[in-house]
Amino acid sequence: MKLGKKGISFSQLSSVAMLFVLTGVTLGIGAYVLSSIQTTAGWATTSDEYIAVENATDAIATLADWLPLIGLVIAAGVVIGVLVMAFSGRRGV
């Protein structure tokens, strides 16, 4: 009986890392654009538009705060995967 592989292989880790980096870059650019819009649009600080852009900027900043934890979980998953494969005797990584 042949068991199917679950998860991702080590050859796919580079694409996962690139996705992680692109997510960080996209969040950074989005926060920069929103803050630029907020400061140069000339809206009153009590207007709906100003408040909406401020809320969106805060939401992006909150999401970006989670990136280090996500990176740590990914790294821990890789280490655990290596240890499990090493001690289970599986080859062909």
String of DSSP letters for 45-61: TTSHHHHHHHHHHHHHH
When divided into structural domains, the chain yields a total of 1
Is residue 80 in a domain?
yes
What amino acid is encoded at 10 in this protein?
F
**Domain contains 13:** no
Q: What is the pLDDT of residue 93?
A: 53
pLDDT of residue 38: 84
The alpha carbons of the chain give a radius of gyration, in whole angstroms, of 21
Range of the domain at 51: 22-88
Q: In this structure, is residue 10 part of a structural domain?
A: no
pLDDT at 8 over 80: no
79: in domain:
yes
* Interval 27-49 mean pLDDT: 87
What tokens appear for 86 in the block?
Answer: 């090493």
Q: How confident is the model at residue 69 (pLDDT cuts 50, 70, 90)?
A: very high
Burial class (CB in 10 A: 0-12, 13-18, 19+), 73: exposed
In a domain, 9, yes or no: no
Residue 93 maps to a domain:
no
16 falls within a domain? no
Examine residue 2 and state whether it is found in any structural domain, yes or no. no
Q: Which residues lie closer than 8 Å to 7 by C-beta, 6 or more apart?
A: 81
pTM (2 d.p.) = 0.66
Which positions ≥6 away from 2 have C-beta within 8 Å? none
